[in-house]
Amino acid sequence: MAKLILLRHGQSLWNAANKFTGWVDVPLSERGRAEATVASCKLRDQGYKIEVCFTSLLIRSIESAIVCLTECDEICGGKIPVIQHNSDDPDWHGWDKYAGNFYQELPIFTAQALDERYYGDLQGLNKAETAKKFGEEKVHEWRRSYSSRPPGGESLEDTKNRVVPYFQTRILDHVKRGRNVLVAAHGNSLRAMIMELDNLKPDEVPGLELATGVPIIYDFDDQGKLLEKTILT
């Protein structure tokens, strides 16, 4: 059976400061790196082996993937993780064109489609102070509803519209080939995937909470049919 493992990045420094982060590229906190380490140990203890990894372009997602894949070498099956950059910048000198070797390396693909939801004008603001200014009900709506957008930002529906096509064409392709895939991403980009995987309706979204650093595993048969879901709490 192929396995799809979803991992919300560990706590970032702005998570710890209770700020809206969105596309601001903030690294993990000490606790966040520890959460990714614990996730690595849980996957190792359950005997999981990863063959392909996907992350967003944001460092907290990439850091979580790297820590998870390298703290316990067993989950890479002896392969070395290699980030597959996608860049048009000539200063890369073609380094980003290295295709890798599936037999010796574990590719980590980075994609803007997997970035966190864009919070627009709220980015950098303290969540508690924002709730006082605009009202708790309005801020809860911006954060948890399906179609409501924060000022200048994306709704979860907008996020889902960019995440799901990439998920269906790039990520599920590896799953259907029988590979175990790790996706280290963000609360909202992963919520979009889970809506698709669990066939959730928009009115079920407000209750969908994802803890940082907790692996969620989906098992698929050799025909690409979803069989079961496990959360490694």
Q: Give the residue ranges of the annotated binding site for substrate.
A: 8-15, 21-22, 60, 116-119, 127, 143-144, 187-188
Amino acid identity of residue 70, one-letter, is T
Nearest to 75 by CA among 109, 102, 52, 50: 50
User: Is 9 annotated in the active site?
Assistant: yes
| Spatial separation of the C-alpha atoms in residues 54 and 72, rounded to whole Å | 18
Q: Which residues are annotated as part of the binding site?
A: 8-15, 21-22, 60, 116-119, 127, 143-144, 187-188
Q: Are 106 and 48 in contact (CB under 8 A)?
A: no
Selecting among 9, 51, 71, 154, the annotated active-site residue is 9
In degrees, rounded to 5, the angle at the alpha carbon of residue 227 between the alpha carbons of residues 224 and 233 is 120
Residue tagged active-site, from 63, 116, 154, 174? 116
**Residue 187 and residue 195: Cα distance in Å, rounded?**
12
Q: Is 174 a catalytic residue?
A: no
Q: How many CB atoms lie within 10 A of CB 176?
A: 14
Distance CA 11, CA 217 (A): 20
User: Which residues form the catalytic set?
Assistant: 9, 116
